[in-house]
Amino acid sequence: MLYINYPSWIHPEIFPGVPFLGLLRWYGLMYVFAFGFAYAALKKQFKEGALECQGRSASEDELTSFIATGIVFLLIGARVFSTLIYDTSGKYLTKPWLIFWPFDESGRWTGLQGMSYHGGAIGGTIGMLVWCKIHKRSFFQWADAMCTAIPLGYTFGRIGNFLNGELYGRITKKPWGMIFPEAEPFSTSIDWVKNFAADVGLSLNGAALANLPRHPSQLYEAFFEGIVLFAILWILRKKKPFDGFSSGLYLALYGAFRFALEYFRMPDSDLGFRIASDPSASISQNTSLLNLSTGQILCALMILAGTGIIAGTGIRAAKKQSRLA
């Protein structure tokens, strides 16, 4: 049997079936862990003197207000971007108050389901710009520290996605492929579906629909976009040649990791491929590297932006150095 069944004991709720406590979800708790670790990493850099500039030191109150402002703008951006860019129903355009309404039409608590990383990145950047403008601080100096601190938080976010059984990957015959209960099944009347099931040892037993194993892409992202990216930036934090380098490197590396991992992740079914070499290609299979998702287009822009920031701030730093010389 070349697949793994999604563990039946995992539930999105921390205390499933318990009154009131059943409202607590692992995904929300993962956000708490993510912000907590980001604050700890930012405070570590603060103690190392990374936020001092021309003899002017930062205070812990400034540190707290900086990260709080970034988090608030991040959450707003992530939610707005998710509902207006990734949702194709149009309901949020006609009823924008639902963007931050945590109940469904029946009044059942659902929380704010749907957050966009790219929207969060834009919102967080705006929040940092606003804060640095008000407090007269160097944007790239503080942004470098924040960009170094936040990647590990993605690990918790993607684990939260895994615990929710969402954002799973495309189908795979790899032995670590996993059958997610909420994944869209395929008709067994299709020859390739029957052949695929036979190849992984999945018994159909005359069923009309088959749920095929998929890449646990949430865990791939947790490792590369979180642990690996954090390790790189953390190691280089004291070796950056100029302010803006870490920010640009963060954008470029995250964009590169995410772009590659999108080939394993399932695109949104209502959006499909934004660019496709074969318009009839199934989004559940990786048939061509030229079939690009919305996330990959945004990641390509991140790579360009990160490269541009490194080049621009590097040139500015070189000119400043030459003037001083």
Q: How confident is the model at residue 82 (pLDDT cuts 50, 70, 90)?
A: confident
Residue 70 within any structural domain of the chain: no
Across residues 215-229, what is the average pLDDT? 97
Q: Which of 35-44, 46-55, 191-200 has the lowest mean pLDDT?
A: 46-55
Asked if residue 75 belongs to a domain, the reply is no
pLDDT digits (tens, 9 = 90+) for 294-307: 899 999 999 999 99
Do the domain assignments include residue 252?
A: yes
Asked if residue 243 is part of any domain, the answer here is: yes
Name the pLDDT band for 110 (thresholds 50, 70, 90). Answer: low
Rounded CA-CA distance 36/149 in Å is 10
Instruction: State the Cα–Cα distance between residues 80 and 117, nearest whole angstrom.
Output: 11
What is the arithmetic mean of pLDDT over 245-260? 98
Query: Which of 88-97, 183-192, 211-220, 316-325 is least confident?
Result: 88-97
Least confident among 17-21, 106-110, 274-278, 320-324:
106-110
**Average pLDDT, integer, range 231-254:** 97
The band of 113, judged by pLDDT with boundaries at 50, 70 and 90, is low
Mean pLDDT of the chain, nearest integer: 90
Bridge pairing between strands 178-179 and 209-210: unpaired
Rounded CA separation 309/289 (Å): 27
pLDDT tens for residues 133-166? 999 999 999 999 999 999 998 899 899 999 989 8
CA distances, 154 to each of 94, 121, 231 (Å): 32, 12, 13
Q: What is the model's pLDDT at position 111?
A: 63
Measured CA distances, 6 to 49, 66, 123, 165, 288 (Å): 46, 40, 34, 8, 28
Into how many domains does the chain fold? 1
Region of poorest pLDDT, from 79-88, 129-138, 252-261: 79-88
Dist. CA 260–CA 278, nearest whole Å: 19
In a domain, 264, yes or no: yes
Q: Is 90 within the bounds of a domain? A: no
- Where residue 4 falls among pLDDT bands split at 50, 70, 90? very high
Measured at the alpha carbon of residue 162, what is the angle toward residues 280 and 268, in degrees to the nearest 5? 25
Q: Is the pLDDT of residue 174 over 90?
A: yes
What is the rounded CA–CA span in Å between residue 58 and residue 136?
A: 12
Q: Where are the alpha helices (DSSP H) in the chain?
A: 26-47, 60-81, 91-94, 117-135, 139-149, 151-164, 191-200, 217-221, 229-236, 245-261, 294-324
- Look at residue 220 in the predicted model and tell me its pLDDT: 98
- Is residue 99 one of the residues assigned to a domain? no
Backbone torsion region of residue 276, taken as left when φ is above 0, otherwise alpha when ψ lies between -120 and 50, otherwise beta = beta
Separation CA 53–CA 239 (nearest Å): 17
Q: State the distance between the two ends of the chain, measured CA to CA, in whole angstroms.
A: 68
Across residues 112-125, what is the average pLDDT? 86
Position 95 scores a pLDDT of 79
Inter-CA distances, 218 with 32, 156, 215, Å: 18, 10, 8
- Give me the residue label for tokens 């355009």: 93
Task: Provide the token pair at 310.
Answer: 């490194």
Find the mean pLDDT for residues 259-286.
88
pTM greater than the 0.85 cutoff: yes
The residue segments making up the domain with residue 170 are: 4-58+137-324
DSSP assignments along 302-316, one per residue: HHHHHHHHHHHHHHH
243: tokens are 């302010």
The most distant pair of C-alpha atoms in the chain lies apart, rounded to whole Å, by 79
Distance CA(153)–CA(36), nearest Å, equals: 8
Q: Characterize the bridge pairing of strands 186-187 and 209-210.
A: antiparallel
> What tokens were used for 136?
């007269």
